[in-house]
Structure 1
Amino acid sequence: MSTGDQRTAATLLRMYGRTYAEEAGIRLRDTPQPLYRLVVLACLLSARIRAPVAVAAARCLAEAGIKDPRRMAGATWQQRVDALGKGGYRRYDERTATQLGDGAHLLLDRYRGDVRRLREEADGDPGRLRKLLQELPGLGPAGVNIFLREVQGVWPEVHPCFDAKAAEGAARLGLPRASGALAGLVKHDDAPAFAAALVRAALDKEVAEEVRKAARKGT
């Protein structure tokens, strides 16, 4: 890895190194509630909707007390729709409210409401983990990528996780695209925030340009 790549990575991390979980008010740990809230956030972010809106909707669900599968399943469809709408998540609110309810029931029935049991069933196999996660309604390949990017700091078996969207951001910044190479640019604990920052660079070319200029100046 070059000194320039390390400088660019450090600049990106300093300027935009904040996970989407953090933005949604989730203190991510390997415990049931934060992991479930991350599943919900990944579902919301995977729709064709702006990330800040998805993050706001996730916060509104939490503010409504809907923080775990039992409460999600116990909430009425309208209560879920209303919470999503309060966060501005209106285009997909009705479909998503149904998917979240169905997903909560599946987690309760199959894993007793604990996402860690899904992980245990995967038995350390990232491919198997992806397949099991995609069985949750509303969590397709894009949503699974989001979940794994964020959870890699607490589930070591999925590290490094820099998917195609993160690689797109890396290319804009002139960084290597391979997961292993990107992981080598930051500390292990910083991988989730670095991945999120790369995604921001992929979504907004002005972010990438701002970081490149700051890295060149050493600011």
Structure 2
Amino acid sequence: MTSQRVEELLADNGATYAHEAGIRLEDKPSPLYQLLVLSTLLSTRISAHIAVAAAREVFEAGWRTPRAIADASRDDLVEALGRAHYRRYDESTSTALGEGAHLLIERWHGDLRRLREEADGDPQRIRRLLQEFPRIGPVGADIFCREAQGLWKELRPSFDKRARDGAEKYGLPKDPKKLAALVPSDELPQLAAALVRSTLQESRT
């Protein structure tokens, strides 16, 4: 019965936010940075659908690296966010993206794998370092880790409160380790995304 619930969850809602935003997630500088941009956009009080659409606009404009974001004009970034109706936070978010790009370039040479190395395998330290980026708080760090756990094994399992609430809703264990045992390690991001989406669907009804 449990395995059937998991299969249904993955079939209905198993697309990660990175996949939906058009990110081909790999352990390489550019896709990891794109995930950071997406996590930044998802960190405001705005719908996930709009945040993902805004990420796609940013990437389709060619801003897929920290250098590209750092060199982009704030007005152009604001315009791209506006095309996705990411309006209330467009100016502050464009500023946060620019400042975050500069921080990544200056401190970690544009490569989040260097942040991972600095954390020395400590998932809590990864979360703390991520929160040094503008607009990335605990929620944004959780989003990044949820999606990146398929690449960085020290982040496994990453099931934040919203994912655990989804697990409870579907009668699945709330303990992250027990949840992780339900799927292969490479499917952990999909399971986490499906659980989160199930709570978002409930909040809209």
Is residue 194 of structure 1 aligned with residue 199 of structure 2? no
The aligned residue for residue 176 of structure 1 is 173
Give TM-score scaled by structure 1 length: 0.91
Q: How does 1:8-19 map to 2 (within 5 A)?
A: 8-19=5-16
Aligned length: 205
Matched letter for residue 92 of structure 2: R
1:206 is displaced (CA, Å) by 8.3
Choose which of 53, 57, 66 in structure 2 pairs with 1:56.
53
Q: Give unmatched runs, 5+ long, in structure 2.
A: none
Is residue 99 of structure 1 aligned with residue 100 of structure 2? no
Matched letter for residue 34 of structure 1: P
Output the CA distance in 2 between the equivalents of 1:131 and 1:77: 27
Q: How does 1:116-131 map to 2 (within 5 A)?
A: 116-131=113-128
Output the CA distance in 2 between the equivalents of 1:205 and 1:182: 20
Is residue 79 of structure 1 aligned with residue 81 of structure 2? no
The aligned residue for residue 30 of structure 2 is 33
Give TM-score scaled by structure 2 length: 0.97
Q: Give unmatched runs, 5+ long, in structure 1.
A: 210-219
Structure 1 stretches of at least 4 aligned residues deviating more than 4 Å after TM superposition: none
1:57 is displaced (CA, Å) by 0.3
1:205 is displaced (CA, Å) by 2.0
Q: Which of 6-15 and 27-36 deviates more?
A: 6-15
The aligned residue for residue 217 of structure 1 is none
Is residue 47 of structure 1 aligned with residue 32 of structure 2? no
Is residue 21 of structure 1 aligned with residue 31 of structure 2? no
Matched letter for residue 73 of structure 1: A
Output the CA distance in 2 between the equivalents of 1:206 and 1:12: 17
Output the CA distance in 1 between the equivalents of 2:118 and 2:134: 18
Task: Tell me, yes or no, if the aligned pair for 1:172 and 1:205 is still in contact at 8 Å.
Answer: no
Output the CA distance in 2 between the equivalents of 1:175 and 1:150: 20
Radius of gyration: which is bigger?
1
The percent identity for this pair of structures is 55
Output the CA distance in 2 between the equivalents of 1:184 and 1:65: 39
